[in-house]
Structure 1
Amino acid sequence: MATEPRPVFALIDCNSFYASCERVFRPDLAKVPIVVLSNNDGCVIARSYDAKPYIKMGAPYFQIKQQLEQQGIMAFSSNYALYGDMSERVMSLIEAQVPAVEVYSIDEAFADMTGIADVTQVSRQLRKRILQCTGIPVGVGIGPTKTLAKLANHTAKRLQAHTGGVVNLCPDHERAWTLRNTSVSDVWGIGRRMTAHLEGMGIVSAMDLARADPWTLRKKFSVVIEKTARELAGTPCLELDEPDPPKQEICCSRMFGRRLTAIEPIKEAVATYMMRASEKLRAQQSYCHKVRVSIRTGMFNPHEVKYAKGIVVTLPYPTDDVRLLTKTAVDAVEHVFQPGFNYSKAEVMLLDLRQPGEFSDDLFALNQPAEASRVMAVLDQINNRWGRGTLRAASVPAHPDWGMRRDLMSQSYTTRLDQLWRISCH
């Protein structure tokens, strides 16, 4: 009687993803340290490997600007359109090569490698193909559990010169060496506080945690720590997640690039955020029946007068039509805006979300016209093909002066025709 093959997981993780995306179309930056900044160029949210020794994560840009210039570190504003598109390309390549994939974040995915004969060689080929097709370097960690695959990936990056970016912890001797030489603080899901608790029990290395009694860990801490220990010992407790169910709420909010005092630019911002929220709504094939709109001033400046207010509006019928959603949201601004304040942020939230056919109304209730659904389908097709914002509501400005400060943003090389990569021959 044939036995089922032992589970094998792989974690494919992009190396310094945001910085790598910036380097793909700028080969002159191959050896230049890079940091990427948060919204409004506030603080550091990503660093290339060679920038990490000099710049702390979360460092405010205005405080380190001079230091970056002195040390030759390049700073970029967040270019989410570029990062999102490059992520989709990487994930598509992974999905084409393995039986099942769980996209864990924008830059990493778990893959089911069960039953593949030479999993190390396949992983090296996958890594090579991703680099060749996208320019993004990745590390691949392989193990009989997801936690060991995560640990293998960490080792692949830490010892890249020796591993070639791929580490397989399925062989017992490889797993034992890695567990002995990895601090318990580097284990997936073990935070700073838990590290202190475990070290107090004499659990210092990953091997110590793998050999600890799981039931004791469960009683003393939680089932999560128990599962982590079991997974380090080679017993699978975590499976690839199923696709996420449709969200029950969709929110889109942004800080303005400057304080706003008039109502018209706030309406433009609300219309812009609704455009994005409605795209997410249609992407999960849901309808919305209620909308919440809120605005607020800055909350941390002691010299600013504070104000915040929101309102929930019920739509005449469940819809995914951006025209109705935008009109409703823009009209709602009239009810929350008060003159005399310096507004810093607006937010739109889509509530009471359901799939078509899940709303129970009476016979005479209004429904979204079929023509509206067809218009939205055409809108999404055009924007998917030619780039977000190619078609948009008339109330959404192309280049708002209230938009986020992104003075250091690179071009959207892959999502805008007017910013395609240009190569000059001299």
Structure 2
Amino acid sequence: MRSEPIFALIDCNAFYASCERVFRPDLAKTPIVVLSNNDGCVIARSYDAKPFVKMGEPYFQAREKLRRHGVVAFSSNYALYGDMSERVMTLIESMVPATEVYSIDECFAELTGMAQDLTLFGHRLRLRIAQCTGIPVGVGIARTKTLAKLANHTAKRLQRHTGGVVDITDPVKRDWVLRNTAVKEVWGIGRKMTAHLEGMGIRTAMDLARADAWTLRQRFNVVVEKTARELAGTPCLELDDVDPPKQEICSSRMFGMRLSELAPIKQAVATYVGRAAEKLRAQGSVCKRMRVSIRTGMFNPNEVHHAQGAWVELPYPTCDTLLLTRLATDAVERIFRPGLRYSKAEVLLMDLRQPGDFSGDLFAPRQSVARDRLMEVMDSINERWGRGTVRAASVPAAPDWGMKREMMSQSYTTRIDQLWTVRG
């Protein structure tokens, strides 16, 4: 007889801020915020920083307030966060039968058939992650993925009482959580949907679980129906072992300063092409179309506003950084307008497929084996020695137009010259 499925959701607490604290133990009791690209706005907050600043608040407006309350701000350090995430996920994978990485700081795990106390296992998992990475996590355990999300939310909301682990596989505990959770906290129920559901008298997760699923499907969609069934204990969502290949890959950044000359804009586009092509090869795909766009700042009333893009039809399906770079920079020349102050560029790779899936002309050109091998060697060198070790000649090592990161921490885990040092 097949065991009923059991899922866990492991979610890192205030992940970006927690990563910064791992290597700054002196900030263990200091509120922390992390800023977006170019130190624009607040994108992450430690729990003790939430009373002082809103998510998305522009840093230039909040700077004095943060200083007054002793909140420390960091520029985003995505290399550090990505590496710490991989360490956490690897630990989880070593302790459970199967996982699905949901985001950089969340992971679903399947616990079906595990012959042990699941609450104790959740605490053991938390302890192992904290000991090996320094990252605090919450663990929610339930019969469905939606309920596991809800259990995780409860584990964090009632941290002092739960110790960061909540198991609601028992129907009595599940019903208590459902009754005491607002419907807006349910996974996948956004602000607009909350308003619609509350208009129907559905105000708690329990109300949604008891609602007629077929009526919800007719009035809204199948997603809301599945959510209600999952809350009632019927599994509708399985664990996804492998993420499907992306259908589009975008690399887009704001410049660290306004650019009025063509040369640095071409350098920026070449840099973004290189990053997009790395992602393309990482999922084993090739692309047939590309869109390159540049734009000025759009919010200053004293500046001319302009945005333009160009489509590029590639000669053959490719993942060749050098070919993509040459065609993308040629496209920039066509859309650049002198006298404007540009603030952002974007490269979008489209029509992505696996090699061999394109049914083109038998005699049409195709990417050479030698170029495939060159890309493999470049990726292996960059993986071992760091991104940008080998790059297109048009990509500078330290561009003047690069993102502004005046408060970025060191890359403690990904750069040998920035390893953590302890002085006696």
2:325 counterpart of 1:326 = yes
- CA drift at 1:242: 4.7
- Of 14, 17, 20 in structure 2, the residue corresponding to residue 16 of structure 1 is 14
Pick which of 198-207 and 395-404 moved more. Answer: 198-207
Q: Distance in 2 between matches of 1:353 and 1:186?
A: 36
Change over 3 Å in CA distance of 1:216–1:313 after alignment to 2: closer
State the TM-score, normalizing by the size of structure 2: 0.96
Q: Distance in 1 between matches of 2:154 and 2:330?
A: 54
Q: How many residues align?
A: 423
Pick which of 5-14 and 181-190 moved more. Answer: 181-190
Change over 3 Å in CA distance of 1:370–1:74 after alignment to 2: same
Q: Distance in 2 between matches of 1:33 and 1:256?
A: 29
AA partner of residue 125 (structure 1): R
Aligned position for 2:80: 82
AA partner of residue 66 (structure 1): E
AA partner of residue 112 (structure 1): E
Contact 1:386 1:415 in 2 (8 A): no
Aligned position for 2:353: 354
Q: Distance in 2 between matches of 1:278 and 1:182?
A: 44
Does the residue aligned with 1:50 lie in a helix, a strand or coil? helix
Aligned position for 2:229: 230
AA partner of residue 333 (structure 1): V
- CA drift at 1:366: 1.9
Aligned position for 1:387: 386
Aligned position for 2:252: 253
Pick which of 261-270 and 235-244 moved more. Answer: 235-244
AA partner of residue 30 (structure 1): A
Q: Distance in 2 between matches of 1:354 and 1:190?
A: 33
Deviations 1:252-294 (A, max 9, x none): 1111111100011001101110110110011011122333222
Deviations 1:289-320 (A, max 9, x none): 33322211122222211222222223333222
Change over 3 Å in CA distance of 1:261–1:198 after alignment to 2: same
- CA drift at 1:336: 1.3
Q: Distance in 2 between matches of 1:25 and 1:10?
A: 28
Q: Distance in 1 between matches of 2:314 and 2:243?
A: 26
Aligned position for 1:27: 25
Aligned position for 1:204: 203
Does the residue aligned with 1:281 lie in a helix, a strand or coil? helix
Aligned position for 2:138: 139
- CA drift at 1:348: 1.3
State the TM-score, normalizing by the size of structure 1: 0.95
Does the residue aligned with 2:409 lie in a helix, a strand or coil? coil
Question: What pairs up with 1:19-58 in 2 under 5 angstroms?
Answer: 19-58=17-56
Deviations 1:315-338 (A, max 9, x none): 333222212221221222211112
Q: Distance in 2 between matches of 1:80 and 1:247?
A: 20
AA partner of residue 76 (structure 1): F
Change over 3 Å in CA distance of 1:178–1:268 after alignment to 2: same
AA partner of residue 329 (structure 1): A
Q: Distance in 1 between matches of 2:364 and 2:194?
A: 58
Deviations 1:102-136 (A, max 9, x none): 11111101111111112222222222111111111
Pick which of 206-215 and 14-23 moved more. Answer: 206-215
- CA drift at 1:376: 1.1
- CA drift at 1:362: 3.2
AA partner of residue 261 (structure 2): A
Question: What pairs up with 1:258-277 in 2 under 5 angstroms?
Answer: 258-277=257-276
Aligned position for 2:184: 185
Q: Which runs of 5+ in 1 are unaligned?
A: none
Question: What pairs up with 1:139-158 in 2 under 5 angstroms?
Answer: 139-158=138-157
Q: Distance in 1 between matches of 2:162 and 2:404?
A: 41
Contact 2:291 2:348 in 1 (8 A): yes
Aligned position for 2:368: 369
Q: Which runs of 5+ in 2 are unaligned?
A: none
Change over 3 Å in CA distance of 1:149–1:407 after alignment to 2: same
- CA drift at 1:235: 1.2
Deviations 1:353-383 (A, max 9, x none): 2211122333432222212111111111111
Aligned position for 1:195: 194
Q: Distance in 1 between matches of 2:398 and 2:59?
A: 24
Q: CA RMSD in A?
A: 1.6
AA partner of residue 131 (structure 2): Q
Aligned position for 2:59: 61
Change over 3 Å in CA distance of 1:192–1:351 after alignment to 2: closer
Contact 1:252 1:276 in 2 (8 A): yes
Change over 3 Å in CA distance of 1:351–1:182 after alignment to 2: closer
Aligned position for 1:312: 311
Change over 3 Å in CA distance of 1:196–1:328 after alignment to 2: closer
Q: Distance in 1 between matches of 2:263 and 2:330?
A: 11
- CA drift at 1:194: 3.0
Contact 1:274 1:325 in 2 (8 A): yes
Pick which of 210-219 and 396-405 moved more. Answer: 210-219
